[in-house]
Structure 1
Amino acid sequence: MKKYIILSLILAAILCLNSLSVGAQSIPEIQAKNADALVTLGIMKGYEDGTLRLENKIKRSEFITLVVNLMGYNTDTDIGNVKVTFTDINKNHWAFNNIKLAIKYDLVSGYPDNTIAPNNDVTYAEALAVVIRALGYEKTLKGEWPENVVNKALELKLSTNLKLEPNHKLTRGEMSVIVYNALTVKFNR
């Protein structure tokens, strides 16, 4: 319990500091501040060389890992019975356990051809759909894909500081903004 109170206080301080200084910042500066906050909270990790490479496109496996970490599911070790039936990933993939966790918590279902495409880039609409599902708002979506997730993201303020097309392939920096914004959304559970 103490751990969660301390993390909540740290998050509140980070959010306050970031909101005070957002006014005249450029998009890359906002992305860097958001990413730094996510690193501090243990949600986002850099590469082996210590960089975050915010300008790189984010892969589906990286994205799934971020959402699993955002939700705190990465502490769940009870995944032995979770079956991964996707044909394009095996247990040696670095994100295999995170994908198992995403399956366990119904965050992802993959594609109709029974693949998860872990090394493909994530589109803005795909990312919004998973974050909206993680936050418990999937059943409140109205309208057709992808406008339904884009509209819900606007309502929840997940897209604050972003103006992207649904099929835009996200960078790690853009994804850090979505995940950072998700920290302020009340869970609908």
Structure 2
Amino acid sequence: MRVFSRKIISLCSLLLCLETGSLMVQAQEVDSSRDAYGNRTQEIIQMGLMTNYPDGQFHPERVLSRAQLATILVKTFGLDQRIPGQENNLRVSDVPNDHWAFDNIQLVLQNRILHMDEQGRFFPDQPVTRAAGFATFAQAYGVLSLSDAEISRILSSYPDSDRIPGWARRAIASAIFEELVNIDSANNRLNPDQLMTRGDMVYALSQYLAKQENPGTIPTIPLE
């Protein structure tokens, strides 16, 4: 009986050790994932493409405004270098000269990356949807060479692609093709009408920067 009891105790101890080891591995995996995300964010901050809030936190869950998007695009793609010569400032009724993003908004307008409405309003504080944010990123990147057949093939893989505005379909398909879009892996959805977060932009920037470090030829999608 004592031998049997000792065996039971030994078996329980072994199971406890295995379970503890498993939990430690899981914890290490979680920590590693968090470190990787933090490092990408820190790199983007160090490059001056995005900044922390005054409280010193990045707040990846907060949404992007059109003014913030304009600023990120100018810094990332050097839009100030694309304008030949000095163009006159455009009159934007809701962006006065002393607005913090005035120069960057002028640049995205002059580059025809973002636009005003018919009344000359830019809506600098308006939140950006994921569709608008990723589409504009792809447009500024200059990767809009997919054919209509390729666009249809790419977007057909996502059940909510019908919620992408018509004007953004080519650009969104291009962004997906370039792996700039973080997909909802739980249900394979693009969530195009959800608001774009700072974390979403970190993902796009990280993918873009990785491509600059390791450029390569992306194969054409095979057509049936």
Same fold judged by TM-score > 0.5? yes
Structure that is richer in helix per residue: 2
Identity among equivalent positions (%) equals: 22
Q: Mind listing any 5+ residue stretches in structure 2 that lack a counterpart? A: 1-28, 152-165, 185-189, 216-224
Question: For the structure 1 residues 179 and 79, does the alpha-carbon distance in structure 2 shift closer, same or farther, using more than 3 Å as the test?
Answer: farther
Aligned to 1:165: 191
Shifted more, 49-58 versus 71-80: the winner is: 71-80
Aligned to 1:64: 70
Question: For the structure 1 residues 55 and 79, does the alpha-carbon distance in structure 2 shift closer, same or farther, using more than 3 Å as the test?
Answer: farther
Q: Mind listing any 5+ residue stretches in structure 1 that lack a counterpart? A: 1-23
Higher relative contact order structure (alpha carbons within 8 Å, sequence separation ≥ 6): 1
Secondary structure of the structure 1 residue equivalent to 2:180: coil
- Runs of at least 4 residues of structure 1 off by over 3 A? 28-33, 73-82, 138-147
Aligned to 2:55: 49
Secondary structure of the structure 1 residue equivalent to 2:142: coil
Question: For the structure 1 residues 139 and 109, does the alpha-carbon distance in structure 2 shift closer, same or farther, using more than 3 Å as the test?
Answer: farther
Q: TM-score, normalised by structure 1?
A: 0.71
Secondary structure of the structure 1 residue equivalent to 2:40: helix
Cα offsets for 1:129-182 (capped at 9, x unmatched) = 2111111124547464443333211111111x4333111101111111112222
* Larger-Rg structure: 2
State the number of aligned residues: 162
Contact 1:45/1:52 (<8 A) preserved: yes
1:115 Cα deviation after fit = 1.8
1:69 Cα deviation after fit = 0.8
Secondary structure of the structure 1 residue equivalent to 2:132: helix
Is the counterpart of residue 152 in structure 1 residue 178 in structure 2?
A: no
Aligned to 1:134: 140
Structure 1: how far apart are the matches of 2:47 and 2:116?
28
